Amino acid sequence: MSLRAAGVLLILLVASPGGIAATAGGTKEKELRELRSRIDALQKDLADAEETKGEAADALKESERAISEANRALRDLGRRSQNINRRLAALRAESHTHEATLKAQQARLGRLLYRQYLGGKAAPLKLLLNREDPNQIARDLHYFGYVSRARVQLIAEVRANLARLGELAREAGQQSAALATVTRAQRDQRQRLGEERRTRNKVLASISRDIQRQRREIRTLKRDENRLARLVEQLARLVARERRGSRRSNKRVPDGSTGGTAFHQLKGRLSLPVRGELASHFGSLRSGGGTRWKGVFITARAGEDVKAVAAGRVVFADWLRGFGNLMIIDHGSAYMSLYANNEALYKQVGDPIRGGEIIATVGNSGGNPDSGLYFELRYQGKPLDPLTWVDIR
């Protein structure tokens, strides 16, 4: 309240002792009680909404786990599809080779049969009986035997090639059918994944909007309450002064290449696990205030690859409230790295990890409003500033 307003109010109090001031004070007291009642109701609504969000987070736990599993299944299906396509390509190449060989064998067999046909106009026995030279007879017998054996061998080779081509065709058919099954499974998984994401985002967005609106209203009402409380207090003091007969004016107002190297030797040489913008820094206050960041948050597009900063072994890979799909890697000598808010986790507990290996994909699991990766480094359980360990270029 300004000095001028206080002076005017004091004059009014003097002009009608206990009248206008008492009325004004009573009205303001009533407004204050109503306002406090409204704030209490809103705070209860906010507590209910926060509890609802916690319940929704519990409900989303399985959904986000399912999303992670679906992504892992899609990745496995993609690898299987690649393997099938490679096998089909190998089958086609082998089929082409056998077809070319078969054509050559058929041509040879044709020539052999043709020569045999020409020679068959005179019976072999007749030709032999007409020979007088024993050496010539021996040569003829050898030739006829050779031709006969060559024909039998060629026919056997042709049959073997035809059988192999049949096997290749059958396997190619089976592989094509398997590929079609994998393709359908991928389509179904993507559809299921999309539905899970839409449902999850819709619920979280609705709850977050309600909570943000209620918080804004409570902040506004609390400011109003403080102003009104100060005014009521000033009015009460003025009324008390008036009752004592005082006529004095009130003049006072009141933020992969490191394999085999010990982790502690990598300080200053690590790379951040994902490309993106640093949205928060180690030690800076979080948006809600009161707590500080124990790592860094890197904003990045959903689905971007998350890579391990160094070699180690997975010691945790699961959903955790507030962190969503979380992976923790033990690097030995009491050093660990943490990767949170992932959309999908590609590794499981016990898996060995190479530096630079893809371990997850970026997301916003755990109820985080923004897509990105929350990353921490810890030594003996205590958080370290990741930016003192990385080389940002």
Q: What angle do CA 216, 221, 223 make, to 5 degrees?
A: 100
Domains, the chain, ordered by start? 1-254 (1.10.287), 263-388 (2.70.70.10)
pLDDT digits (tens, 9 = 90+) for 113-164: 666 666 554 445 444 445 545 554 455 545 555 556 666 676 777 677 677 7
pLDDT of residue 183: 79
pLDDT digits (tens, 9 = 90+) for 206-264: 667 766 776 676 666 566 555 555 554 555 555 455 555 443 332 322 225 556 688 99
Is the pLDDT confidence value at 379 over 80? yes
Cα 367 to Cα 204: distance, rounded to the nearest angstrom: 7
pLDDT digits (tens, 9 = 90+) for 272-285: 999 988 888 898 87
pLDDT of residue 354: 94
CA distances from 10 to 18, 24, 353 (A): 11, 12, 77
Q: Where are the beta strands (DSSP E) in the chain?
A: 277-280, 296-299, 305-307, 312-320, 324-332, 335-345, 352-353, 358-362, 372-379, 382-384
pLDDT of residue 107: 75
Cα 161 to Cα 24: distance, rounded to the nearest angstrom: 108
CB 372 within 8 Å of CB 276: yes
**Main-chain dihedrals φ then ψ at residue 350, nearest 5 degrees:** 100, -15
Is the pLDDT confidence value at 310 over 90? yes
User: Which of 34, 56, 36, 33 lies closest to 44, judged by CA?
Assistant: 36
- What's the pTM value of the predicted model, to 2 decimals? 0.50
Strand partners of residue 383 = 378
Cα 81 to Cα 181: distance, rounded to the nearest angstrom: 10
% residues pLDDT > 90 (the chain): 18
Annotate 8-65 with three-state secondary structure. HHHHHHHHCCCCHHHHHHHHHHHHHHHHHHHHHHHHHHHHHHHHHHHHHHHHHHHHHH
Cα 81 to Cα 307: distance, rounded to the nearest angstrom: 24
